[in-house]
Amino acid sequence: MLDIAFIREHPELVRHAAKVKGIALDLDRLLDLDAERRRLVARIEGLRAERNRRSPEVPRLQGQEREQAVRELRELGNQLEELEPVLESVERELESLMLLVPNPPAPEVPVGESDADNREVRRWGEPPRFDFPALDHATLGERLGLVDLPRGVRLAGSRYYVLRGDGALLERAVLCYAMDLLVRKGFVPLSVPMLVREEAMRGTGYFPGGEEQAYAVPRDGLYLIGTAEVPVTAYHAGEILAEDDLPLYYAGFSGCFRREAGAAGRDTAGVYRVHQFYKVEQVVLGRADAEESARHLEFITANAEELLQGLELPYRVVAVCTGEMGQGQVKKYDIETWMPSRQAYCETHSASMFHDFQARRLKMRYRDREGTIRYVHTLNNTALASPRILIPLLEVHQQADGSVRIPPVLRPYLAGRERLGA
């Protein structure tokens, strides 16, 4: 959510942000409602002040003067009874529109409509060249007894799976590796609830607009999270932190659930796009400083790159264009890892910078050293998501004899083993 004063002062910037992000927004209606709200607030406050000023005088009056004063006070009360519901209605509509206002992208963000307009920033590693018929991850997983797709579908339907044996151990290994790497860098690990209230989904910007992607539990008024970003970012909602405690670095671990509404027929083979998965998420809460936030964005992106380099997986970093960014993001990087079966770099990580967009919704603030209350800046990044990361891990490191080489960084988590299926 943006500051209404900022919207008033920069309507064309907000209008441009909505255009380049492809977000429908009736900004004129929002500004009209804001003006009407301010007019009503001034009128109501004036009436209340007048009533408060005159009420103590009534007991001192007599006769007709007293009757006249009572009638006038009653009229003030009637006017307030008429205006207060009008103000409430205006505020509700204004709030609903405020939740749709996009955060303007940073000037360096490429303008575009689809991922074809993303701009490559850098690459690391070289895609492997196989001198044998390479297999896709689903075939490798089946042959090595790592993945059981048919039984996963039988248990829960399409886009579900079972990791078994070494597949389950490999997933545990990559998740532990990611968490350990972040802890060494000063991140505080958090194991968070996977069910949250609507306020957390709305506060982090997933609602309104993302309801179709979320699994709901109506009986309890809760939602299954699609990323640990939601509970970790909302962890300090409603609090006033101290500037000296910032920045806060959190590494959240959770299961994640997404309906993948509208994705029928896309990426149905294997475990690329599934309904249930696990993530280790980096979240940063920092000071209200745009330059500092930019440094945090580079830091968390570099952490994800270090993780991929340890896994010896070729990747590229792209600056995400405006049309592919979310409503609240000021700047975003995607990391795309090489997947041999697709002969393409495919998204495995995202890093996002929000400035105070989420913090305003969550009422998450800090007191600076001069005593001024400010909203924190938030950022997040997918340190690792499984089982998607298993796709390049299996495919890139497959061997001619059908085994899969284990990168050295994972061997301590797998009893020192060098291969799966050897």
Which residue out of 254, 341, 350, 352 is catalytically annotated? Answer: 350
pTM, entire model:
0.93
Q: Is 56 exposed, middle or buried (0-12, 13-18, 19+ CB in 10 A)?
A: exposed
Task: Clarify whether 347 is annotated catalytic.
Answer: yes
Which residue out of 281, 336, 388, 395 is catalytically annotated? Answer: 388
Residues 106/377, Cβ–Cβ less than 8 Å = no
Tokens for 387? 């089982």
Question: What is the rounded distance in angstroms from the CA atom of residue 75 to the CA atom of residue 322?
Answer: 53
Q: What pLDDT digit, counting tens, does each position of 208-229 carry?
A: 999 999 999 999 999 999 999 9
Q: What pLDDT digit, counting tens, does each position of 104-159 carry?
A: 999 999 999 999 999 999 999 999 999 999 999 999 999 999 999 999 999 999 99
- Mean pLDDT within 18-37: 98
Q: What pLDDT digit, counting tens, does each position of 7-19 carry?
A: 999 999 999 999 9
Question: Which helix (H) or strand (E) is 365 found in, with range?
Answer: strand 365-367
Buried b (16+ CB within 10 A) or exposed e, 38-54: eebeeebeebeeebeee
pLDDT band for 315, please (50, 70, 90 cuts). Answer: very high
Task: Clarify whether 388 is annotated catalytic.
Answer: yes
Task: Clarify whether 66 is annotated catalytic.
Answer: no
Tell me whether strands 404-405 and 419-420 are parallel, antiparallel or unpaired: antiparallel
Task: Clarify whether 119 is annotated catalytic.
Answer: no
Which residue out of 258, 360, 361, 365 is catalytically annotated? Answer: 258
Task: Clarify whether 350 is annotated catalytic.
Answer: yes
Question: What is the rounded distance in angstroms from the CA atom of residue 252 to the CA atom of residue 34?
Answer: 38
Place of tokens 């992607």: 213
Tell me whether strands 240-242 and 222-224 are parallel, antiparallel or unpaired: unpaired
Q: Which domains are seen in the chain, by residue range?
A: 4-98 (1.10.287.40), 115-420 (3.30.930.10)
